[in-house]
Structure 1
Amino acid sequence: MSTDPTAIPSWAVGDITVHRIDEVLLPPATGSWLLPDATPDLVARQDWLRPHFADDEGTLRIDSHSFAFTLGGLRVLVDTGIGNGKQRANPAWHDLDTDYLRRLTTAGFSPDQVDLVILTHLHADHVGWNTQQVNGEWVPTFPRARYLTSRTEREFWAGYDMEEARKQMFRDSVIPVEEVGLLDLLDVPAEGTDVLPGLRLLPTPGHTPGHVAVELTSGGRRALITGDCIHHPVQLVHPTIGACVDIDPQQSETSRRTLLGSLADTDTLVLGTHFAPPTAGHVITHQGTYRLSPAPADSH
Structure 2
Amino acid sequence: MVLGDVEVIRIVEWHKPFAPTSGMFPEASAGVWKSNEAWLAPDHWDPDSDTAVLALQTWVLRSGGRTVLIDTGAGNGRERPGMPPFDHCQGDFLGLLARADVRPQDVDVVVNTHLHVDHVGWNTVDAEGQWVPTFPNAQYLIPAADDFHYGPDNAYGSGLHVVDRLTYEDSIAPIHQAGQAVLWDGLHRIDDHLTLESAPGHTPGSSVLRLASGSERAVFAGDLLHSPVQILHPCCNSSACLAPEQAVASRRRILGRAADEKELLIPAHFGGAGAVEVRRDSGGFTLGPWATASLYR
TM-score if structure 2 supplies the norm length? 0.90
The corresponding residue for 2:23 is 33
After the TM superposition, which of the residue ranges 116-125 and 97-106 deviates more from structure 2? 97-106
Match of 1:92 among 85, 88, 91: 85
Superposition deviation, residue 287 in structure 1: 4.0
Superposition deviation, residue 156 in structure 1: 2.5
Listed as ranges, the matches of 1:218-229 within 5 Å are 218-229=213-224
Name the SS for the 2:12 alignment partner. strand
* Aligned sequence identity (%): 36
> CA 1:24 to 1:240, structure 2 compared with 1: closer, same or farther past 3 Å?
same
**2:236 corresponds to 1:245:** no
Q: Is the 8 A contact 1:148 1:186 kept in 2?
A: yes
Name the SS for the 2:74 alignment partner. coil
Listed as ranges, the matches of 1:151-300 within 5 Å are 151-158=144-151, 159=154, 160-162=157-159, 163-188=161-186, 192-264=187-259, 266-299=261-294
Q: Provide the C-alpha distance between the structure 1 equivalents of 2:131 and 2:287, rounded to a whole number of angstroms.
A: 39
The AA in structure 2 aligned to 1:107 is A
The AA in structure 2 aligned to 1:71 is S
After the TM superposition, which of the residue ranges 126-135 and 17-26 deviates more from structure 2? 17-26
Q: Provide the C-alpha distance between the structure 1 equivalents of 2:35 and 2:47, rounded to a whole number of angstroms.
A: 10
The corresponding residue for 1:17 is 7
User: What is the number of equivalent residue pairs in this alignment?
Assistant: 287
**2:54 corresponds to 1:59:** no
TM-score if structure 1 supplies the norm length? 0.90
What do residues 230-280 of structure 1 show as CA deviations (whole Å, max 9, x unaligned)? 111110111111121211100000100111111125431111211012110
> CA 1:266 to 1:142, structure 2 compared with 1: closer, same or farther past 3 Å?
same
What do residues 123-169 of structure 1 show as CA deviations (whole Å, max 9, x unaligned)? 11100000111212111111110100122221222314223221111
Q: Is the 8 A contact 2:72 2:112 kept in 1?
A: yes
The AA in structure 1 aligned to 2:53 is R
Q: Is the 8 A contact 2:150 2:168 kept in 1?
A: no
The AA in structure 1 aligned to 2:86 is W
Q: Which has the higher strand share?
A: 2
> CA 1:204 to 1:290, structure 2 compared with 1: closer, same or farther past 3 Å?
same
Q: Provide the C-alpha distance between the structure 1 equivalents of 2:85 and 2:101, rounded to a whole number of angstroms.
A: 28
**2:108 corresponds to 1:111:** no
Name the SS for the 2:114 alignment partner. coil
**2:67 corresponds to 1:75:** yes
> CA 1:180 to 1:298, structure 2 compared with 1: closer, same or farther past 3 Å?
closer
Name the SS for the 2:46 alignment partner. coil
The AA in structure 1 aligned to 2:43 is H
Which runs of no fewer than 5 residues in structure 1 stay unpaired?
A: 1-10
The AA in structure 1 aligned to 2:101 is G
**2:138 corresponds to 1:138:** no
Q: Provide the C-alpha distance between the structure 1 equivalents of 2:150 and 2:170, rounded to a whole number of angstroms.
A: 15
Q: Is the 8 A contact 2:231 2:287 kept in 1?
A: yes
Q: Provide the C-alpha distance between the structure 2 equivalents of 1:100 and 1:219, rounded to a whole number of angstroms.
A: 32
Q: Provide the C-alpha distance between the structure 1 equivalents of 2:21 and 2:91, rounded to a whole number of angstroms.
A: 21
Which runs of no fewer than 5 residues in structure 2 stay unpaired?
A: none
Q: Which has the higher helix share?
A: 2
Q: Is the 8 A contact 2:10 2:60 kept in 1?
A: yes
Q: Provide the C-alpha distance between the structure 2 equivalents of 1:117 and 1:108, rounded to a whole number of angstroms.
A: 16
Superposition deviation, residue 26 in structure 1: 4.2
Superposition deviation, residue 223 in structure 1: 0.8
Superposition deviation, residue 299 in structure 1: 4.0
